[in-house]
Amino acid sequence: MTRQFIVEADGGSRGNPGPAAFGSVVRDGATGAILAELAEYIGTATNNVAEYRGALAGLSHVFSLDPEAVVEVRLDSKLVVEQMSGRWKIKHPDMRDLALQVRGVFPPGRVTYTWVPRAANAAADALVNEVLDQASSGDRTAVARVFMGSPDLNASHDVVGEAEEAFALGAASRSDRTPNRLVGWQDVGQPTTTVLVRHGSTAFSVEKRFSGLGGLDVGLSEMGMAQAEAVAQELVLRDGLDAVISSPLLRSRETAVCIAGRYGLDVDIMDEFAECSFGDWDGHTFAEVQSQWPEAMQRWLDSVEIAPPGGESFAQVRDRVNRGLRQVMHRYQGARIAIISHVSPIKLLAGLVLDAPLESVYRMELRPGSISTLMWFPDGHNSMVSFAESSHLRGVDSALGV
């Protein structure tokens, strides 16, 4: 029987052209399980060159597993998909050479190319950013993670170990072909539990002012400190914590210190969980932004791909939050982790656990000091246990805000 594989490939360049890398995820076509993660820094190149390199790496790996295989290559580059499918001409000589290399891996008819939206290519995109982030600090080590369970591979080929394999099979292997299960009714393995806490109130949150990364780094108000204490007390009554992670912003760090102190834990600061950057809007109320930037505000409300002037789009924030989640899962697989963060990152994590459209961020509300609990299972069948819990804040005055 002919084996089927899926290659999810992506490429990115910070500058286009600029420092570039590719990422490629190889999956079993029948189960959706990840067999390999491949990524490499390729120096100065364009996005399209990097995309081709990602496809080439994934196909070459599949060929090493089974030269007789049938492969579907999924990319979020419409250009590469149309060119490799033969519907668009390839004019640039460098691109033609790469296309010939890609076509030469398997005989004609063995490989098909499918365009997918960016959100569906998050695993490969995260690999690209992982390598680019490493390269920016001088580390240009390629990623070549081959997982237990790969066809025709034995344990000596596993280069990452069981914990990393468990994360890869879970957080990064969601596929339309993976059958649904009833989480809580079936044994799907030991989850990694993230207890997401929105920081306590600040003067800005009470006044409903935009307060993001790069703006004025406001601390907790007296009310916010009372909320942080209430959260800490509530979490002590629950199942314990193995680690406390915080956004770098002051209000989150102050909340995190309050919680970590109850357990004798240090606070791990992770930039990936910082609030969205609101750019020129920072410090302004929603009404002020509507008055001063009406067209920009409407574009922002209409599309998750649009950023405030000088800020980040929700799509960009989702990418970095997803990178942060991957790091947490690698480091703390099977543990119970508190992540002290903000409205946008928490809503985006909730969307990731539910595989919800990115536009779902417009349909969620979070009270300062609220608790949301998400479980990430090794096989990818993740679960939302709770969202925006706030009964522990009863008697503590609070306000909603950005």
CB atoms within 10 A of CB 151: 11
Q: In the chain, where are the structural domains located? A: 4-171, 192-393
CA angle (137 as vertex; 192, 312 as ends), nearest 5: 65
Do 3 and 66 touch, CB atoms closer than 8 A? yes
The pTM assigned to this predicted structure is 0.58
The sign of the CA dihedral 186, 192, 239, 356 is negative
Q: How far is CA 55 from the centre of its chain?
A: 21
What fold, for 192-393?
Answer: Rossmann fold (3.40.50)
pLDDT at residue 173 tops 50: no
Same fold, 4-171 and 192-393: no
Between 253 and 172, the more confident residue is 253
Distance CA 76, CA 125 (A): 10
Beta strands in 116-266 (DSSP E): 143-146, 192-198, 243-246
Question: pLDDT tens digits, residue range 282-337?
Answer: 999 999 999 999 999 999 999 988 999 999 999 899 988 988 998 898 889 889 99
CA angle (328 as vertex; 127, 180 as ends), nearest 5: 80
Question: pLDDT tens digits, residue range 179-216?
Answer: 555 555 555 568 899 999 999 999 998 888 999 999 99
Residue type, 37: E
Mean pLDDT of the chain: 86
Question: pLDDT tens digits, residue range 239-252?
Answer: 889 999 999 999 99
The token pair at 329 is: 């899962």
The whole-number pLDDT of residue 180 equals 58
Would you please indicate which residues are annotated as catalytic (active-site) residues? Answer: 199, 275
The whole-number pLDDT of residue 49 equals 93
The token pair at 317 is: 């924030």
DSSP state of 332: S
pLDDT at residue 401 tops 50: no
Distance CA 376, CA 355 (A): 12
Q: What is the DSSP string of 229-261?
A: HHHHHHHHTTT--SEEEE-SSHHHHHHHHHHHH
Domain 4-171 has CATH 3.40.50.2300: no
Distance CA 31, CA 42 (A): 31
Do 166 and 333 touch, CB atoms closer than 8 A? yes
The whole-number pLDDT of residue 378 equals 76
Render the burial of 338-361: b for 16+ CB within 10 Å, e for the rest. Answer: bbbbbbbbbbbbbbbbeebebeeb
The whole-number pLDDT of residue 389 equals 95
Mean pLDDT to the nearest integer, 101-119: 91
3-state secondary structure string across 7-30: EEEEEEECCCCEEEEEEEEEEECC
The token pair at 314 is: 């929700």
Q: Which of 80, 67, 109 is nearest to 8 (CA)?
A: 80
The whole-number pLDDT of residue 187 equals 55
Per-residue pLDDT band at 120 (split at 50, 70, 90) = confident
The whole-number pLDDT of residue 185 equals 53
